[in-house]
Amino acid sequence: MIKTDVLVLGSGSAGLTFALEVAERSKLKVLVITKKDRSESNTNYAQGGIAGVMAPFDSFEAHIRDTLIAGAGLCHEDAVKVLVHEGPERIRDLMHRGASFTKNTGGTLHLGKEGGHSTNRIVHTKDLTGKEVERTLLDAVAAHPRIKVLENHYAVELISEHNLLKRSRKTRSCYGAYVLDDLTKKVHTAFARHAVMLATGGCGQVYMHSTNPQIATGDGISMAYRLGARIANMEFVQFHPTSLYAEGSRSYLITEAVRGAGGILLNLAGERFMVDYDERLELAPRDIVARAIDAELKKRGESHVLLDISHLRDKARKEFPNIYAKCLEYNIDITKGPIPVVPAAHYSCGGVVTDLNGRTDIARLYCCGEAAMTGVHGANRLASNSLLESLVFARRAAQDLVADGLGPSAPVDIRPWDDS
What single-letter amino acid sits at 19?
A: A
We find the least distance from the C-beta atom of residue 88 to ligand SIN, in angstroms, to be 17
Q: Cα dihedral sign for 191, 197, 200, 202?
A: positive
Task: Compare residues 26 and 242 and give the one whose CB is closer to ligand FAD.
Answer: 242
Compute the least distance from the CB of residue 7 to ligand FAD, in Å.
10
Binding string, residues 144-163; x marks residues near ligand FAD by CB under 6 A: ----------xx--------
Q: How far is the CB of 86 from ligand SIN (least distance, A)?
A: 18
Q: Does 71 bind ligand FAD (CB under 6 A)?
A: no
Pattern of binders to ligand FAD over 85-124, x per CB under 6 A? ----------------------------------------
- The whole-angstrom separation of Cα 40 and Cα 55 is 32
* Backbone torsions φ then ψ of 347, nearest 5 degrees: -150, 140
Distance CA 331, CA 394 (A): 41
**In the complex, minimum distance from the CB of residue 341 to ligand SIN, in angstroms, rounded to a whole number:** 11
Q: Give whichever of 34 and 160 is closer to ligand FAD, judged by the CB atom.
A: 34
Out of 4, 49, 238, 412, name the contact with ligand FAD by CB under 6 A. 49
Eight-state DSSP code of residue 137: H
Q: Given the complex with ligand SIN, which of 236 and 347 has the nearer CB atom?
A: 347
Which helix (H) or strand (E) is 360 found in, with range? none
Which residue in the list 38, 121, 193, 286 is annotated as catalytic? 286
How remote is the C-alpha of 286 from its chain's centroid? 16
Q: Which does 109 bind (CB under 5 to 8 A by kind): ligand SIN, ligand FAD, none?
A: none
Pick the closer one to ligand FAD by CB: 273 or 389: 389
- CA atoms in the 13 A half-sphere facing the CB of 205: 12
Do the Cβ atoms of 201 and 215 come closer than 8 Å?
Answer: yes
Which of 13, 357 has the CB closer to ligand FAD? Answer: 13
Nearest to 351 by CA among 218, 228, 239, 238: 218
Q: Per rule CB under 6 A, is residue 357 in the interface with ligand FAD? A: no
**Segment near ligand FAD (CB under 6 A); pick from 39-47, 68-76, 301-309, 332-340:** 39-47
Q: Shortest gap between Cβ of 226 and ligand SIN (angstroms)?
A: 28
d(CA 15, CA 21): 10
Angle, helix 386-403 to helix 13-25, in steps of 10 degrees: 30
- Catalytic residue at 286? yes
d(Cα 92, Cα 79) in Å, to the nearest integer? Answer: 20
Q: Assess 35 for contact with ligand FAD (CB under 6 A).
A: yes
Among 52, 71, 176, 201, contact with ligand FAD (rule: CB under 6 A)? 201
Q: Does 231 bind ligand FAD (CB under 6 A)?
A: no
Rule CB under 6 A: choose which of 129, 238, 242, 354 binds ligand FAD: 129
Order of all β-strands in the sheet with 231-232: 231-232, 351-353, 372-373
Rounded to whole angstroms, how far apart are CA atoms 353 and 408? 28
Q: Taking the complex as a whole, how short is the minimal distance between the CB of residue 415 and ligand SIN, in angstroms?
A: 41
Identify the CA nearest to 83 among candidates 354, 317, 377, 326: 377
Shortest spacing between CB 322 and ligand FAD, in angstroms = 11
Please give the Cα distance from 153 to 156 (Å, whole number).
9
Binding site for ligand SIN (CB under 6 A): 47-48, 255-257, 347, 383-384, 386
- Which of 191, 347, 366, 393 forms a contact with ligand FAD (CB under 6 A)? 347
Query: How does 5-19 read in b/e, with b if 16+ C-beta sit within 10 Å?
Result: bbbbbbbbbbbbbbb
Q: Is the dihedral of CA 182, 184, 186, 189 positive or negative?
A: negative
Residues that bind ligand FAD (CB under 6 A): 9-15, 33-36, 40-43, 45-50, 129-130, 154-155, 199-201, 211-212, 215-216, 219, 253, 347, 369-371, 384-387, 390
The residues carrying an active-site annotation are: 286
